[in-house]
Amino acid sequence: MPLLEVRDLRTYYYTMRGVVRAVDGVSFTLEKGETLGIAGESGCGKSTLAWSLLKLVPPPGRIVGGSILVDGMDVTKMSEHEVRSKIRWRKISMIFQGAMNAFNPVIKVGDQVIEPLLLHTDMDREEAWARAEEMVKHVGLPPEILERYPHELSGGQKQRLVIAMALLLEPDIVIADEPTTALDVVIQAQILNLMKRLYREKGMSIILITHDLSVIAELAERVAIMYAGKIVELGPAEAVFENPLHPYTQALLKAVPRLRGPKERLYYIPGAPPDLRNPPRGCRFNPRCERRFEPCDREEPPLVEAEKGHYVACWLYARR
């Protein structure tokens, strides 16, 4: 049984100007000790998917369909109390996008880091602090750093603390939403090394979310490509990077600037991602697709297994 199984998940935002279908029929599984990368352009629903897994979708958003099975329990059916006591931090923890900028400036970072321990275990402050010191060493920082205030830390140090915090309760799954975006390349490389090490030592499962395919390549064994609320391609990293099937994946990879090798004109995908209140009919990528043909704007392509373990939702590969 996989550690996590997501089936046909739908999460919509009910705004005054219409329903935003941010996650619209997403399915995938995550095995124990596996790293899954989720990539896609800004606004395609990556963070919304992550929040859904922890049942933390901000209003006016709501999970409206599908299931999220963790150890056979369906998170979507749980009460807030159950999610808090059984899932969050213990089973699944999350490194939130931009969390390092969310430390309260007037409270010592240590007191903020131990908060999940105080909330979710019966440790007292002293025990929690000692535990946090251990974890802080693990992410390569001196334990004294817990005594400091946020403004006394660099961006890279704060991001390490956010990672330490996500690991405190030794969860089975860690979701990392853009863990290195907006960090300098050197610090980014340090954080990626840290995540590789933790992953090897602790055997955790990781869901890595980012728009940066190069970062995904550094960590993920399997890769899911999202477009406009849907997974359009899913497979082993080698297959997705070396033999991308979906025209969207092909275009995304072509747009990545390379540091070495021949320098062609930088490619970009013409047009803009669709308005998720009113997505195009058929395949959502069809208005921007170079290989569009007759069925694409009429019917939605199913996700089919094109090669072993390599799935794609595109009419080029599906039988009608």
Ligand X SMILES: Nc1ncnc2c1ncn2[C@@H]1O[C@H](COP(=O)(O)OP(=O)(O)OP(=O)(O)O)[C@@H](O)[C@H]1O
Cα 2 to Cα 69: distance, rounded to the nearest angstrom: 9
Q: Which residue has the tokens 């946090």?
A: 132
What does the alpha-carbon distance between residue 190 and residue 175 come to, in Å, rounded to a whole number? 18
Looking at beta carbons only, is 6 or 168 nearer to ligand X? 6
13 interacts with, out of ligand X, other proteins, Mg ion, none, CB within 5 to 8 A per kind: ligand X
> Cβ neighbours of residue 70 under 8 Å, at least 6 residues apart?
3, 4, 87, 91, 92, 173
Residues 39-68 that bind Mg ion (CB under 5 A): 47
- Tell me the angle at which helices 155-167 and 185-202 cross, rounded to the nearest 10 degrees: 20
**Phi, psi angle pair for 300, to nearest 5°:** -80, 130
State which residue, 20 or 213, has the beta carbon closest to other proteins.
Answer: 213
How far apart (Å, rounded) are the C-alpha atoms in residues 133 and 223?
Answer: 34
Of 24, 177, 178, 233, which one interacts with other proteins (CB under 8 A)?
Answer: 178
Site for other proteins in 32-61 (CB under 8 A): 41-42
Q: Distance (Å, rounded) from C-alpha 90 to C-alpha 225?
A: 27
What tokens appear for 189 in the block? Answer: 């490389």
Query: Does residue 16 interact with other proteins by CB under 8 A?
Result: no
Residue 17 interacts with other proteins (CB under 8 A)? Answer: no
Whether the CB-CB separation of 6 and 67 falls below 8 Å is answered with yes
Judged by CB under 5 A, the chain residues 82 through 141 that form the site for Mg ion are 97
Minimum distance from residue 226 beta carbon to ligand X (Å): 7
Using CB under 5 A as the binding rule, whether residue 180 contacts Mg ion is answered as no
Tell me the residue length of the chain: 320
Q: Is 272 in the site for other proteins (CB under 8 A)?
A: yes
For binding to ligand X (CB under 6 A), which residues are involved?
Answer: 13, 15, 20, 22, 42-48, 58, 60-61, 97, 211, 276
Residues that bind other proteins (CB under 8 A): 41-42, 154-157, 178, 181-182, 184-186, 188-190, 192-193, 196-197, 211-221, 237-238, 241-242, 251-253, 255-260, 263, 265-269, 272-273
Residues that bind Mg ion (CB under 5 A): 47, 97
